[in-house]
Chain A
Amino acid sequence: MSVLAEKPAWRPRLRFRGSLVVATLLLGLFLLAAAAPGWLAPYDPLAFDMTAILKPPSGLHPFGTDNFGRDILSRLIWAAHIDLAIALCTTVFPVIFGTVVGALVGYYAGWLDALFGRIVDLVVTFPFLVIVITIVSVLGPGLFNMFIAVSAVGWVFYARLMRAEVMTQKQADYASAGRVLGYGELRIIFRHLLPNAIGSIIVYWMTDMALGILLGSSLGYLGLGAQAPTAEWGVLVADGKNFLNTGWWISFFPGIAIVLTGLGFSLLGDSIADRLRRGR
């Protein structure tokens, strides 16, 4: 008994390659700045230079200087690792906790699902920013408290997503086959269903990291996020708010940095989504 040549694997063409390149570029710069600011930054970000106050972008100072003479570019580079920390710390707990809870809720459903549904209703009723600001106001301003606030509420969205994916996947025959082979339910949920459901979580995570940075920046702007002297991009934007006419570059370049990094994450998420979709 033999079977002749198998059906050859499809070789899909790599579309969206452009976006992956751009994403890699942007995020690469971001990571470089976060990892080696001392190497990259031309000036000491804390150094006052009273002879170069509010200088517009030039050869000496590509992004200009602020009202203390500090080089914007260097400040930007040195702030990058804070923003990276924000991106990661606002998402890590929600991803892990949300995935686990979502998977369990999706698989077991029943009263667990009913309870989860009420939690979701509660969280979704309030605008996310409002909740975060409220919690931070109670706990006190600062990045760490911001992480707590975001994590406490943010996991719900991941859980909801995971629940939906798991509910779909558990209908598939391979899940039944696992049970017929005697595999325990936890094994089936986490070793079989989860890898098939995790795709959309990853994609959501990428966008969420971009949103995390924005959130950090918004809170920073409001004075609730990173506290002086810690500088992250949102704080840098806030620093320039009194100089929008005389020194537009103080707010502008940090703002652009936020946008481009967010774009990088989004494009990366797109590429991953695309790849996962084709992999099916």
Chain B
Amino acid sequence: MMLSSDAPLLEVTTLSKQFAVRRRFLEAARRRSSAVLRALESVSFAVRRGETLGVVGESGCGKSTLARCLVRLHEPDGGGIRFDGQDVLTLQGSGLRRYHRRVQMAFQDPYSSLNPRMTVGHALAEAIRFHDLRPPAQTLARVAELLELVGLPTTAAERYPREFSGGQRQRIGIARALAVEPDLLIADEIVSALDVSVQAQIINLLLDLQERLHLTILFIAHDLRVVRHLSHRVAVMYLGSIVEIGETEQLFARPRHPYTAALLAAAPEMDPGRRGTRDAISGELPSPFDIPTGCAFRTRCSRASDRCAAVRPTLAGAGGRMAACHHPLS
């Protein structure tokens, strides 16, 4: 489908978020050097209408925090979010409610993301009624429509979440998010907890929905294969920052940031003929309480220099391909 070349739908500028954690006295005295968890560190990117932006990274990279900031579940400490030209962070009351109609989220855990005491139909109807999306007489019909949209039988409306499998629950979660007819869907690791064959069903569902509803999708995941399959562009995150962003195929074929390269090398390939013996990357992930100065990745990077410890690299590059590295792979 044609991607719009207009102004981006979502624009995030130098978004930062930290969490102050209360530690017990002994812990404070012993190991951790600070009580502040820097979850997001000056993150900037844009999402174009109709595209799927994949966000990948490992534990502590901040992708979930980013998602939650975008839907105002967390309040960022710095930076800005603009949606369709409008400042999101200053929204209140009915303005905020309208925003929630346009940006929705589907969650990772199929078991806790649905209210166990509400039937599926009730959960969907509530969203429709709350936002006054249909006249009361048509609510049930709309619920049936939504269920059909995600590939579930209409009889599902009377059942409780516990009667469904993991994959089906994810479909229900997607239906709930789509009930308010959003422009942007944030999919926060929605396939991570699913078996491979069920994952594939959900992937197909997303592709279909994007086509049918002209959805813009922010797809957060840690599985590179899945992200590659679904996304037009990919952003790679490490310890709270975006280290590289660009068109999917280019990024995967010729990564510019050493972490991206390491991530690609580490992901197990399906070809048994190509087996490496050397570790794709050495060392452990630093604690997010204790992010290295300068470039956060330098402690595990074979190309690190003195400059990397002193100066924090920012995203730089051309043609939509940017990497935050002082010594990018060419």
Do A and B touch each other in the complex, judged by CB within 8 A?
A: yes
Q: Once bound together, how far apart are the Cα atoms of A176 and B180, in whole Å?
A: 16
Q: Tell me which residues across on chain B come within 8 A of A180, comparing CB atoms.
A: 71, 73, 100, 104-105
Contact B162 A7 (CB under 8 A): no
Main secondary structure of the interface of A (DSSP, over half): loop
Closest beta carbon of chain A to B259's beta carbon, Å: 29
Looking at the complex, which one of A2, A174, A183, A280 makes contact with B114 (CB distance below 8 Å)? Answer: A174
Given contacts A177-B105, A177-B176, contact A195 B168 (CB under 8 A): no
Contact A195 B112 (CB under 8 A): no
Binary contact track A230-253/B, C-beta < 8 Å → 1, others 0:
000000000000000000000000
Closest beta carbon of chain A to B215's beta carbon, Å: 16
B151 contacts partner chain A, Cβ-Cβ < 8 Å: yes
Contact A183 B165 (CB under 8 A): no
Q: Tell me which residues across on chain B come within 8 A of A183, comparing CB atoms.
A: 130
Contact B130 A280 (CB under 8 A): no
B97 contacts partner chain A, Cβ-Cβ < 8 Å: yes
Q: Which residue of A lies closest to B165 (CB)?
A: A7
Number of A interface residues, CB 8 Å? 22
Binary contact track B202-221/A, C-beta < 8 Å → 1, others 0:
00110010000000000000
By size class, the interface of chain B is 35 or more
Q: Once bound together, how far apart are the Cα atoms of A31 and B108, in whole Å?
A: 49
Contact A1 B204 (CB under 8 A): yes
B127 contacts partner chain A, Cβ-Cβ < 8 Å: yes
Q: Tell me which residues across on chain A come within 8 A of B159, comparing CB atoms.
A: 9
Residue numbers of A with Cβ under 8 A of B are 1-3, 6-7, 9, 171-174, 176-177, 179-183, 192, 195-196, 279-280
Other A-B pairs, 11, CB within 8 Å; known A174-B115, A180-B104: A1-B151, A3-B153, A9-B159, A173-B112, A176-B68, A181-B127, A181-B176, A182-B101, A182-B130, A182-B131, A196-B115
Residue numbers of B with Cβ under 8 A of A are 68, 71, 73, 96-97, 100-101, 104-105, 107-109, 112-118, 127, 130-131, 151-153, 156, 159, 162-165, 168, 171, 173, 176, 180, 201, 204-205, 208
